[in-house]
Amino acid sequence: MGFPTTIERDPVNKVIGDSSLEDEFDQNPTDIDEQSRIRIHLKYVENFIRNQSSLSLMKCNALDHLNEYWKKGQFPTHNRYQQEGEQQQKRLPRFIDHNGVHCAVGYMILKSPGFEHLPNQINTNYEYSFIDEIGNSNNSDLTKWMNMYEFNLNELAMIQPTYEHMRGSQMIVEEVLEPQPQPPTPTTSEMPKTSETPPKVPAKSRVRAFFHRLFDYFRK
């Protein structure tokens, strides 16, 4: 099956280009936002793989995680921003970004019991690499995962999106508010006095006063 590619701009996928957009809209819109573009692509590829042939339970489980992933809508980004006037950079994949967000393939592997370590291992040397480059690295754990879940490199390459480099004008600068200084806690001597405690009268003085009052009573 042949997939058309987009000439005007870099496609969202290296293998099938922007076929997902053309399937969704009967054309290739240029005003679609980045998140929707990636989500539509992943939805398209998931359905494409599911409809190819009978799938094993393991492969269905991995595709269920892919479905969960694109519906959640949290995708990697590039944190290297282009300045105005700088030549447009090509879209690139990113396995795990600076915020710890996994790509679609990385997420499927992460959700596979016994392979949770593999995405970080791949990301160490192949953070910005395409799947075919990663597949040719002879990573035995990746090969083991592909065999267990019955994916081939072409299918994984079809899944892997690329991500745009945002321009400087797209950056959101958040104002960092400095915490207001808190007033110092007053010491015991500085605390306001609410009421004066009456001085204690010594016991002997109280006894003496009692007898004086008693003596005055009998004198009357």
Bridge-partner residues for 82, per DSSP? 167
Domain membership of residue 196 (yes or no) is no
- Residue carrying the six token digits 């989500």: 39
Domain membership of residue 97 (yes or no) is yes
Tens-digit pLDDT profile for residues 89-145: 689 999 999 999 999 999 999 999 999 999 999 999 999 999 999 998 889 999 999
Mean pLDDT of 195-200: 52
Please tell me the pTM assigned to this model.
0.69
DSSP 104: H
Domain that holds residue 156: 19-74+84-169
Bridge-partner residues for 102, per DSSP? 96
How many CB atoms neighbour CB 75 within 10 A?
22
Domain membership of residue 2 (yes or no) is no
Residue 3 predicted with pLDDT over 90: no
pLDDT confidence of residue 25: 83
Domain membership of residue 57 (yes or no) is yes
Mean pLDDT of 178-203: 53
The number of folded domains in the chain is 1
DSSP 208: H
pLDDT confidence of residue 21: 86
Tens-digit pLDDT profile for residues 138-185: 899 999 999 999 999 999 999 999 998 765 444 443 333 344 455 565
Mean pLDDT of 19-28: 80
Domain membership of residue 41 (yes or no) is yes
Tens-digit pLDDT profile for residues 37-66: 999 999 999 999 999 878 999 999 999 999
Domain membership of residue 107 (yes or no) is yes
Tokens of 213: 């009052």
pLDDT confidence of residue 53: 75
Q: How far is Cα 201 from Cα 167, in angstroms, rounded to an integer?
A: 82
Domain membership of residue 215 (yes or no) is no
Q: How far is Cα 177 from Cα 140, in angstroms, rounded to an integer?
A: 49
Domain membership of residue 4 (yes or no) is no
| Res. 10 pLDDT band, cuts 50 70 90 | confident
